[in-house]
Structure 1
């Protein structure tokens, strides 16, 4: 990429898709790409079109994101504006279909016929396709490079810095905004993203948090400042009802009252509102209680795995011949939760020291 220009791509999107586009923008940053996004680059009180008019010479590519809400009226004006620039300056404008985009989609005439990036499909990798569209260089992101803290993109020479403080700081500010607005589900997902970025686990996940993940046996790779900041933000904005420390206190209270066996994670899960004892089932992320007054203490952040690789199948015989399939959660999670709480104690010791 030309290092003289300030921005590599303008992320054009409907306001209803802002959260998911912001997440994609953070992932682009980790690939060494500098996106223009209104919440990062538009100063309050400045007209969007005026700001874009000033930056147009510094933007070479426009990615138009389309989700379930389609294209908003202002977004449509943005497209027309950049299409004119595309004609005059030979810039690239292409559509990006988000996971929420409908299967049958009619693109605006200005975008019809253009090759798109499709986040509804994992093959080919949509992030790699997006990077390719922005840089004109086909990327090859290796798992080994990602785990070592660097992402090499073949033919481009871009590196992901081993330290990601800038991205982490941005996401902590975003987490605080969600928590202040009582947007618990969005804050929960962002918490998972923060932990993922610090653990350098951008692929091949073992323990899933919806779309983000973290393997707790790599807790030591996560900076104490991040863990403590996340925990304090949850506690301060929930009136002390949510956070890792709240979960730890509940866990320790339960350990004092009974002797835990290997199934004790079910008891903890039930206490936190993650496990439904009557039907012996772990809830899904979509079933989390978003009303703070109704949610039990410690309900967030959500720390339960739902990867198919950590479940096993049991068969129960009914009426001597009928087998009913049951999915049973493999409980490495009690050990994992203990690792989280131990890491939390270590980190608070560091912060106090």
Structure 2
């Protein structure tokens, strides 16, 4: 297997800019692994990526306003879990592409705290100097020529747009990648990647990283706007087949109550309807407890996804209770108004007017 100096981990949407940087690195004699250039046809692409990640001298993660892509997530996870612990000498860090907003960088760092320990290369500053610094960091020497490093005019004329306000929640969570995955759910692994990303985004929404677990306490105070956003994306892109609110409807249909109290009998009925139950070799039923047992496909039972693999039996019951408490899921306009005004959900219209009138003029 041919060995490379650098593995370029990037979002496919960033190929125009990343490709130019790759060419500049190659012009300095740096052997770069770049998927569309170096993947061999008719061989398993995931194994090829992992094999090369394990052998390179430097693993560079390129970040832009497009966020990190689903394949990029897999590459980063493999590197941090399987490669970096065994080879502390490997060079790694973030390469920040032009016009990237701080919120995106912070999201990536929160998702992968390991990168907080490494200084990053910032192309938002003067590009020629940034390219020189990148080459120096990889090779330990100044670039031989600077004429090939400048960015093409076509790139500088069309800067990346910052994320739309609707894609960033009040907690600073960026939902563009989840939207992209669910909208491209016809592709292989899209549903599974979306399910994985959903859990990670939920951890981020409560200030945790992917190394943590979502607890009952986290769910009880989970941000309603984020829960509603996640659920809405799943419901819309599955045509009403998947989503927490869909699961809640099924749970209520078998006699469940959205009170956060686990009932074994109700759980059996619910799990059977959403397809979370299998049969062992003796024909006995058992509840799924590993990722391989679930079906990440639109052909799955209604309500089958999303599934939070870690302690999902208890967590999902608490999510149903949280949905019940969140006004965004309630179509009662008075409760929605009370929520926006900061009043209790059951505050009457007359009482709300009295409270507003009692406020001092500003």
Structure in which a larger fraction of residues adopt strand: 1
Larger radius of gyration: 2
Under a length normalisation based on structure 2, what TM-score does the superposition of the two structures give?
0.48
Structure in which a larger fraction of residues adopt helix: 2
